Amino acid sequence: MRQVVLDTETTGLDPQQGHKIIEIGCVEIKDRRRTDRQFHCYLNPERDIDEAAIEVHGLTTDFLADKPRFNHIEQQFLKFIEGAELIIHNAPFDIGFLNQELSGTTSDCNSLELICSVLDTLSLAREKHPGQRNNLDALCKRYEVDNSQRSLHGALLDAEILADVYLAMTSGQSSLLLGEDQSEGSSTIKNTRLSDPNRPVLTVLKPTKEELQAHEKRLMDLDIESDQGCLWLKLDSE
């Protein structure tokens, strides 16, 4: 069975408000083992990026200025994922953005569900661990998956981590490295991951008390204004 673990980074929360994908990361799993095949690209969204989003992933308009547009990588991306089961954490978010991007191209495929099946690991985690935090960092801690490189969100790094979490969560495998011996009954995963050397280096500034209060108020306002609530508040409460 072929599966593709997928993650995206975006300019904001809602594709219906014109927000765009700025990074796609995919890793391949075949017969429950990671392969060395992957798909990764940064994208120029041709629009501003929300400050709150930059705080999450660190990607700026300056860094993305010379990157391709989605329609330039669309066929390569679709070829990589076609026929696979997509493994995505909070799948409606990523699928919603990708389908919105596809709708703006000349592609015959305007919905990923036409060429792939989708498994949402957030829903799976909630079934296995009701009432507990089930964001990616919490699952890494629960299944002893190394996420020490994850100072900021990154689509490819997060896809690699999610692949490890998914396999641990569904089988208790102790290792996902190709050719590495596996011991039964252990869920500890010790893959070594390297950060993308082309990713911009950011100085992390701690917010002041006033800035934290203003940020919290903004999230609460978004929660009230949106019919579906504020995604970040929901993730924080998991």
Of 155, 178, 173, 201, whose CA–CA distance to 63 is shortest?
A: 201
Check the CA dihedral 20-25-30-32 and report its sign: negative
Return all residues near 208 (Cβ < 8 A) that are at least 6 apart: none
* 65/86 Cα distance (integer angstroms): 29
40 in catalytic set: no
pLDDT attached to residue 192: 47
Domain 2-195 belongs in CATH node 3.40.50.300? no
Nearest CA among 234, 237, 232, 236 for reference residue 52 = 232
pTM equals 0.74
Per the CB < 8 A criterion, the answer to whether 54 and 19 are in contact is: no
Catalytic hit among 19, 57, 89, 153: 153
pLDDT at 218: 80
Domain ranges (residues) in the chain = 2-195, 205-238
Digit-by-digit pLDDT tens for the chain (238 residues) are 999 999 999 999 999 999 999 999 999 999 999 999 999 999 999 999 999 999 999 999 999 999 999 999 999 999 999 999 999 999 999 999 999 999 999 888 999 999 999 999 999 999 999 999 999 999 999 999 999 988 778 999 999 999 999 999 997 543 434 334 443 333 444 444 555 656 666 556 677 877 777 887 787 777 777 766 776 666 655 5
